[in-house]
Amino acid sequence: MISEVLNEYGLNSAALNVTPFGTGLINHTWKIHLNGDANSFILQKINCKIFRKPEDIAHNTRLIGEYLHKNFPNYLYVRPLLSKSGADIVHIKDKGFFRLVPFVENSHTIDVVQSPGQAYEAARQFGKFTKLLNGFDVSQLRITIPDFHNLPLRYSQFLDAIKQGNPSRIEDSKEMIQWLVEHDFLVKRFGAMEQSSGFKKRVTHHDAKISNVLFNENNQGLCVIDLDTVMPGYFISDVGDMFRTYLSPVSEEESDFTKVEVRDEYYHAICEGYLSEMREELSADEKSGFFDGGCYLIYMQALRFITDHLQDDAYYGAHYANQNFVRAGNQMILLQKLLSKESEMRSSH
């Protein structure tokens, strides 16, 4: 399969080294090294069950690439390579859609944030990406996943799942379901934000995990990568997802919830890193929305995981029986810990 794809790019696949790469839940990723060639590549198979129109991803990355190249030629934008026929993604019959990007030499990604400095750098890169694209007309972007960060919709999908999902799983999840229902004020608050004129739709990455930032050898952020979910959105999507994934020393996979924590210094590093690029761009309403953004994104992820658990893991899949239940519980604890620091965090910026 891989050699068929490489052939579309005119690459000789006779002597290649292929290694699985990264930890994403949705797409498959490999690092490709051609023997005798100094360059490496990242190959991704796009999950078409989730990205229904892969050509929309190609459309977005091409437009953004052209805009950045024209206006900010020094920005490192990792643009997908063009195939022999000039396409940004290739379709192999019965196999799916693929894209190839150059591997940026002397760069690396990080799977787990290990210092506030890394959190600052990553937040700065997500802020910079949105800032550089401030003059880009967001309405030109195609919606690669409709309603992706639409909290009211995620909540109504959760309400459907607690009625129509797997009955024994619903029964076993009663306490968590109740807690999530009791916190539906977050949905209302999110709705109010959407109605307010103080929040602007910007070019937003929508998957601000640390592994989507390239770092150089001195651990400085270079740029953001993995642009499948770049769409018009609110800045809190990225800031909130950073809180969700950097605040705790353990990830959403951790089943020992006593290890889930909110580390203040990471919270501040995210705010400062993001604001170092976006301070002049954000409205006063947006600036006061950081804490809420963290709550929305963690809550939404808990809803998405428990919804998937109740629907027999149809979206995320599971490597063991209760994996999405554990993930949801982990996110619920993280949200509880963040909410317990509300006044302290709100007054800090």
Question: Which residue number, 67 or 233, has a Cβ lying nearer to ligand GN1?
Answer: 233
Cα distances from 326 to residues 12, 102, 135, 277, 336, in angstroms, run 44, 36, 42, 36, 15
Which residues ranging from 18 to 77 are in contact with ligand GN1 (CB under 6 A)?
24-26, 50
* String marking each residue 209-248 x if it binds ligand GN1 according to CB under 6 A: --------------------x-------------------
Place of tokens 């934008």: 77
Query: Which residues sit opposite 19 in a β-bridge?
Result: 31
- H-only helix segments in 165-260: 167-172, 174-182, 185-195, 235-246
- By CB under 5 A, residue 313 contacts Mg ion: no
Among 88, 121, 207, 292, binds Mg ion (CB under 5 A): 207
Question: Which residue number, 207 or 313, has a Cβ lying nearer to ligand GN1?
Answer: 207
Residue 50 contacts which entry, Mg ion, ligand GN1, none (Cβ below 5-8 A, type-dependent): ligand GN1
| C-alpha closest to that of 155 among 347, 319, 299 | 299
Which strand (E) or helix (H) includes residue 312?
none
Among 130, 301, 307, 331, binds ligand GN1 (CB under 6 A): 301
User: Segment contacting Mg ion (CB under 5 A): 90-98, 186-194, 219-227, 292-300?
Assistant: 219-227
| Dihedral over Cα of 281, 347, 190, 53: its sign | positive
Query: Which residues sit opposite 203 in a β-bridge?
Result: 232
Among 88, 121, 207, 238, binds ligand GN1 (CB under 6 A): 207
- The number of residues that bind ligand GN1 (CB under 6 A) is 9
Amino acid identity of residue 205, one-letter, is: H
Residues that bind ligand GN1 (CB under 6 A): 24-26, 50, 145, 207, 229, 252, 301
